[in-house]
């Protein structure tokens, strides 16, 4: 763009002016201004980047904490639900245990009617099967060593033939639901 533009002056003479140089000078000034702006923006960008990174980390941390809280809530709720279910099962089974006791007493009584006795035995068998299906097991007592976690000692007898703290008689059968004792066995303990 080394072309020169000729202009007509008032005298009628043509003056030669290098127009290309003027055009070149103006873009250089604009370019310098743009460069200065870019430098300023670059200086501001790290600040913005750092701020945005901090905000992102903060939001991510908040999100992770919320997820952890929800997970803890879900576990706690499930644990409470399971515990409640087990407690309700134990309460319901405990209400049926007097029926077991009465059937056991009926079997201990002598009767002349064999059909009646057989009927009571069948009911007792069905009752025991139902308890097993529900996860209820009897507490082993007779001949065992007394354990306050499973047994309730209501009588004490001195018997030199029996061992120390040996259970010699069971008055009422104890039951467990899993590891939880739902009814302690009432027993007589020797020595």
* Alpha carbons 159 and 133: distance in angstroms, whole number: 39
User: What does the pLDDT read at residue 115?
Assistant: 93
Domain with CATH 2.30.22.10 in the chain: 137-191
Going 81 to 173 to 134 to 95, the CA torsion angle's sign is negative
**pLDDT of the residue at 3:** 47
- pLDDT, one tens digit per residue, over 40-90 is 666 656 678 888 999 999 999 999 999 999 999 999 999 999 999 989 999
Beta bridge partners of 170: 187
pLDDT-derived band at 159 (thresholds 50, 70, 90) equals: confident
Task: Phi first, then psi: give them for residue 187, nearest 5 degrees.
Answer: -135, 165
- Number of residues that this document lists for the chain: 191
Check residues 25 and 161 and name the one with the higher pLDDT: 161
Phi and psi for 190 in degrees, rounded to 5? -95, 150
pLDDT at 27: 55
The CATH 3.90.20.20 domain(s) of the chain lie at 42-134
Q: Quick one: which H or E segment has residue 165?
A: none
pLDDT of residue 66: 96
Report the distance separating Cα 146 and Cα 139, nearest Å.
12
Determine the pLDDT at residue 167: 92
Alpha helices (runs of H) in 109-179, residue ranges in sequence order: 114-133
Query: CATH top-level class for 137-191?
Result: mainly beta
Domain 42-134 -> CATH class: alpha beta
For 1-50, how does the pLDDT look when each residue is reduced to its tens digit (9 = 90+)?
A: 444 444 545 555 555 555 555 445 455 566 676 677 766 666 656 678 88
Higher pLDDT, 180 or 37: 180
CA 122 to chain centre: 44
Query: Quick one: pLDDT at residue 96?
Result: 95
So what's the pLDDT on residue 47? Answer: 75
Contacts of 44 (CB under 8 A, 6+ apart): none
* pLDDT, tens digit (0-9, with 9 covering 90-100), for 111-136: 899 999 999 999 999 999 999 999 99
**pTM for this entry:** 0.60
* Strands across the sheet containing 175-177: 136-138, 175-177, 180-183
């Amino acid at each position: 763009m080394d072309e020169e533009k000729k202009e007509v002056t008032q005298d009628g003479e043509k003056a030669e002016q290098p127009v290309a140089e003027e055009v070149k000078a103006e873009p250089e000034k604009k370019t310098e201004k743009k460069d200065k702006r870019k430098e300023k923006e670059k200086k501001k960008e790290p600040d913005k980047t750092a701020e945005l990174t901090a905000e992102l980390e903060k939001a991510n941390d908040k999100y992770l904490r919320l997820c952890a809280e929800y997970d803890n809530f879900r576990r706690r709720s499930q644990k409470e639900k399971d515990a409640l279910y087990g407690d309700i099962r134990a309460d319901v089974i405990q209400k049926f245990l007097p029926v077991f006791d009465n059937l056991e007493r009926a079997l201990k009584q002598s009767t002349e009617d064999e059909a009646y006795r057989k009927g009571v035995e069948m009911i007792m068998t069905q009752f025991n099967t139902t308890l097993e299906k529900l996860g209820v097991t009897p507490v082993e007592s007779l001949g065992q060593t007394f354990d306050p976690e499973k047994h309730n000692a209501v009588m004490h007898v001195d018997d030199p033939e029996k061992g120390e703290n040996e259970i010699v008689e069971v008055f009422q059968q104890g039951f467990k639901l899993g590891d939880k004792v739902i009814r302690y066995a009432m027993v007589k303990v020797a020595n």
